[in-house]
Amino acid sequence: MSETETLFAALRQSADEKVVDMLERMVRDAPDHALNKMNALDLAAKEGLEEEQVIAALLKAVGLGMFEMTWSLMCPSCAGVLSANRSLKTLDKAQYNCAFCAAGYETTLDNLVEVTFTISPRLRKIAAHTPDQLPAAEYLRQIFWSSAIDLPADLEKLLAEVTLESVDLPPGERAILSLQLPQGTVIVFDPVTHTAQFLDVSGEEASERQNLSVIFNKVQVPVDSVALRPGPLRLALENRTEGRVLPAVWVTNQALDDLLKRRKPILNAKRLLTNQTFRDIYRTETLAIGQRLKILSLTFLFSDLKDSTALYERVGDLTAFDLVNEHFRLLQEIIASERGAVVKTVGDAVMATFETPDRAIAAAIRMREAMSDLGAERQHQSLRLKLGIHEGSCLAVTLNGQQDYFGQTVNVASRVQGLADSRSIMVTEQVVENADARALLETSGLKPTPRSVALSGIADKVSVYEIS
């Protein structure tokens, strides 16, 4: 049995068989570019597979050394990769700038950081493993652009519609390009160094040749615009880096606009951090000590067993211990199935995160029903859950050696859970105002009852709703 066969046999022990079959088929037959920056959500949609099963299989394949995982901070405007990282630990800037779009973006994990998967050279060597040998169009496809952009198969043909000139410039070399500038905005852009020079071309056509020089190096300089007139231009390009650069002169026409608007869903960092398989595998390795990464919107669910101390007193330690363990198992199963993840347990309490409020509410409803069923099954009707849900911004951090969250949103969610009575779900106004959450409650025939309360340690009153 070959190493590839051995690795896939090992992957089949823990991952969905259909997903593993698909990955094995891709490793054997897919073109090189399909095995680079694999988009788990797009892959699931094209193959008709469950997203969570595809994500879980890829994560486990990374653990076996079959694939490599990349966290890429991407520009939301052009979908270009601004920083590719093997770990979140190296995502260490508060802001990243895109030269192509002449814009800066605060580092957040919601929609700016995509997670992709690339086949390991031990399984199959692909062209992207040596990016400095890729043709310009393939470098743009496989290295510069993120998996969020839906690139056409005939990318080279489309690029020809927006490109005046291009050159593959080795390290230390210079090139002189002679071209005719059209009216409008023209961009001299290199995807390797992320260097851009904007040309504002307007006015009467120049009677004499104009001159411009652009230098490529590792020093990031502010993007500016040079005013030129339509007509002949002598463009001098100099590569002062230790690798090749791929500068091109692009016109900002409708074809370029249409290309940049072609988008598809991505697996972002926020969703992956709320994935139970990811947390199980990377619980202590996600962030560096002291690192803080912002999440604009995350939903927190806190649960606690009501009167668990009395339960131990009434049924005895052994029976109570068994009940509590079964309660934890059921809750984790429900949370994972609603695309959430358990962050930690404290005593009989659970802290979990979800990408969106509706997923948290769906989980809470199912958790409440599961506890009723468990209590009836074990003839302990007093097995009741107190549940609280809140949504808002937070920081992803490392606390007590594992990936955790910090901020007022977490505090409010915890306090809201403390307001819950037996079998009630307490949620904040932010949760019930979510359109998908409202639709779920209406479909379930549940009407939240509003309350205005003061929470311990929270200065302002908080609008909460009780779902009985």
Q: Model confidence over 217-228: pLDDT tens digits?
A: 987 777 789 999
Do 158 and 106 form a contact (C-beta atoms < 8 A)?
A: no
Position 380 confidence tier, pLDDT thresholds 50, 70, 90: low
User: Could you report the per-residue pLDDT of 299-346, keeping only the tens digit for each?
Assistant: 999 998 876 555 666 666 666 677 778 888 999 999 999 999 999 998
Of residues 390 and 284, more confidence is placed in: 390
> What pLDDT does 310 receive?
58
**Residue 379 scores a pLDDT above 80:** no
CB neighbours of residue 309 within 10 Å: 11
* Cα 394 from Cα 406, distance rounded (Å): 6
Position 27 confidence tier, pLDDT thresholds 50, 70, 90: very high
Do 17 and 56 form a contact (C-beta atoms < 8 A)?
A: no
Of residues 50, 101, 428, 86, the one with CA closest to residue 275: 50
Q: What is the mean pLDDT of residues 391-411?
A: 92
* Cα 197 from Cα 99, distance rounded (Å): 8
**Residue 53 scores a pLDDT above 80:** yes
> What pLDDT does 424 receive?
80
Q: What is the mean pLDDT of residues 265-273?
A: 96
Do 56 and 15 form a contact (C-beta atoms < 8 A)?
A: yes
**Residue 114 scores a pLDDT above 80:** yes
Q: What is the mean pLDDT of residues 90-102?
A: 89
What six digits make up the tokens of 27? 């490793």
Give Cβ neighbours of residue 369 (< 8 Å, ≥ 6 apart): none
Tell me the sheet residues that pair with 5. Answer: none
Position 451 confidence tier, pLDDT thresholds 50, 70, 90: confident
Q: What is the mean pLDDT of residues 124-143?
A: 95
Q: Average the pLDDT over each of 47-56, 172-181, 301-310, 444-453 and give the range with the smallest value.
A: 301-310
CA atoms within 13 A on the CB side of 125: 2
Do 154 and 161 form a contact (C-beta atoms < 8 A)?
A: no
Of residues 170, 318, 313, 187, the one with CA closest to residue 245: 170
* Cα 427 from Cα 246, distance rounded (Å): 53
What six digits make up the tokens of 344? 């930690």
Q: Could you list the beta-strand ranges (E) of 102-247.
A: 103-106, 113-119, 163-166, 174-181, 184-190, 195-201, 210-216, 225-228, 231-239
Do 383 and 327 form a contact (C-beta atoms < 8 A)?
A: yes
Gyration radius (Cα) of the chain, Å = 27
Give Cβ neighbours of residue 308 (< 8 Å, ≥ 6 apart): 320, 324, 347, 348
**Residue 31 scores a pLDDT above 70:** yes
Q: What is the mean pLDDT of residues 34-55?
A: 96
Q: What is the mean pLDDT of residues 434-448?
A: 92
Phi–psi pair at 280, nearest 5 degrees = -65, -35
**Residue 74 scores a pLDDT above 80:** yes
Residue 143 DSSP one-character state: I
Pick one of 3.30.70.1230, 3.30.230.10, 3.40.50.11540, 1.10.10.10 as the CATH number of 278-467: 3.30.70.1230
**Residue 290 scores a pLDDT above 70:** yes
Do 149 and 138 form a contact (C-beta atoms < 8 A)?
A: no
* Cα 170 from Cα 179, distance rounded (Å): 21
What six digits make up the tokens of 420? 């819950």
What six digits make up the tokens of 336? 């994972």
Phi–psi pair at 27, nearest 5 degrees = -60, -35
Do 387 and 327 form a contact (C-beta atoms < 8 A)?
A: no
